Amino acid sequence: MAECMRTTLNPPKTPLHSNKISAPKLSFSSSFSSFGTKPNSSNSNNYPRISLSVMSNKNQNQNQNQNHHHHQQHLSLDAVISSNRKAELLGDIKGSLSNRLSETNLHLTVPGLKSKTRGKVRDIYDGGDYLVLVTTDRQSAFDRILASIPFKGQVLNETSLWWFDQTRHITPNAVISSPDKNVTIAKKCSVIPVEFVVRGFVTGSTDTSLWTVYNKGIRNYCGNALPDGLVKNQKLPANILTPTTKAEDHDVPVTPDEIVKLGLMTEAEFDEASRKALRLFEYGQRVASEHGLILVDTKYEFGKSSDDSILLIDEVHTPDSSRYWIAHSYEERFQSGLEPENVDKEFLRLWFKDHCNPYEDEVLPDAPEELICELAWR
């Protein structure tokens, strides 16, 4: 692992609190194989140019923050780029293009790991009473692997660990410890085969996105009655839950009644998980708002532990599982009919939709190197 992740990017300012459960002793020093295939750099200037703004960091001292609130300012992307920060990070990113973590085989080198399951982004290893989850740099969308993004796995894993720790007051989770920037050791759970997708806005570009189905005239989606007259990127009257089943090839929207009738969950289990999902989303929106962002939509996954308690699993509020917009420019851009400024993977989805049919084409084009570096920077 050390060879694969040589540089730490954007270390969290708030330290992660370690779980007090003792972790299995495992060594991850050199067990990972790196990914060395460089993407095709043709058409590198054909992806959508994204205008991006960020807010300056809030002063960590609450009193100073209140006293100097009027000094807070919005930073444009140009201001960020004109500093040395983006150039510094892009240097690290480009230097890691040949050393991305796209595949691991720990079961071949780490004693005690019995088997490997390969998800879209995570490699999951059976360690008996626990699981070892390795968050790779694989990038998925349209239920397919599109690319491998430098440092993505580290960002997703550390972001999730922070949120898991911050949301213990809402729901327990499966995390035991994290022995590496890309690795989480978790309690073994039986995964509930439902993804709890929570939405606060009508938006999106995929076939199952709320805007796509709404624009087709659908007004009852996953058990939610939607009013007429909504336009793309508009805030919903209230947050809604639009669950999907975790199908083999692609996720399928489903109603709460169908979940119970199919035997995927009992009514009591669904009620508990849906309450937790909505509370998690409300909390995530509040934290995002405090940092100049809008948490637009996200997904949660749950599992049942050996004592049948429902635990939060997988990832939480990452830029891979969630859509984030820049708060201060949202209203003006919405009123002008412009797409919100964003820091998620939507622009990657749009590039693939412009260059192929990502749902039906057997072979997809290689994402240009410039696009990959831009996504890593975001």
Q: What's the CATH code of the domain at 231?
A: 3.30.470.20
Do the domain assignments include residue 33? no
DSSP 3-61: TT--S--S--SSPPPPPSSPPP----TT-EEEE-PPPP-TTTT-SPP---EEEPPPPSS
Question: Rounded to whole angstroms, how far apart are CA atoms 198 and 27?
Answer: 37
What is the largest distance, in Å, between two alpha-carbon atoms of the chain?
A: 59
Instruction: Tell me which DSSP letter residue 284 carries.
Output: H
- The CB density around residue 10, as the number of other CB atoms within 10 Å, is 12
Residue with tokens 């002793």: 25
Do the domain assignments include residue 356? yes
The residues that bridge with 313 in the sheet, in sequence order, are 301
Question: Rounded to whole angstroms, how far apart are CA atoms 378 and 326?
Answer: 12
> For residue 149, what are the domain limits?
98-365
**pLDDT value for 202:** 98
**pLDDT value for 249:** 63
**pLDDT value for 97:** 94
Instruction: Tell me which DSSP letter residue 220 carries.
Output: E
Question: Rounded to whole angstroms, how far apart are CA atoms 45 and 339?
Answer: 20
Contact (CB, 8 A) for 202 and 234: yes
Q: Is 253 helix (H, G, I), strand (E, B) or coil?
A: strand
Give the residue from 21, 7, 192 showing the smallest Cα distance to 93. 7
Do the domain assignments include residue 186? yes
* Mean per-residue pLDDT pooled into runs of 10, the chain (378 residues): 32 34 44 32 33 33 41 46 76 93 95 93 95 96 90 96 98 97 96 97 90 97 97 98 83 94 97 98 96 94 96 95 92 95 83 91 92 89
Do the domain assignments include residue 250? yes
Instruction: Tell me which DSSP letter residue 174 carries.
Output: -
Do the domain assignments include residue 324? yes
Contact (CB, 8 A) for 190 and 9: no
In sequence order, which residues have a C-beta less than 8 Å from that of residue 99 and are 6 or more positions away? 3, 4, 6, 34, 35, 36, 150
Do the domain assignments include residue 118? yes
Q: Which amino acid is at 300?
A: Y
In sequence order, which residues have a C-beta less than 8 Å from that of residue 135 and are 6 or more positions away? 121, 122, 153, 154, 156, 157, 160, 182, 183, 184, 315
Sheet holding 122-126, edge to edge: 116-118, 122-126, 130-135, 183-187, 175-180
CA atoms within 13 A on the CB side of 30: 0
Do the domain assignments include residue 64? no
Rounded to 5 degrees, what are φ and ψ at 11? -60, 140
Question: Rounded to whole angstroms, how far apart are CA atoms 364 and 375?
Answer: 18
Do the domain assignments include residue 157? yes
Domains of the chain: total: 1
Assessment of whether the complete model's pTM goes beyond 0.95:
no
Please, what is the end-to-end C-alpha distance for the chain in angstroms? 23
**pLDDT value for 86:** 82
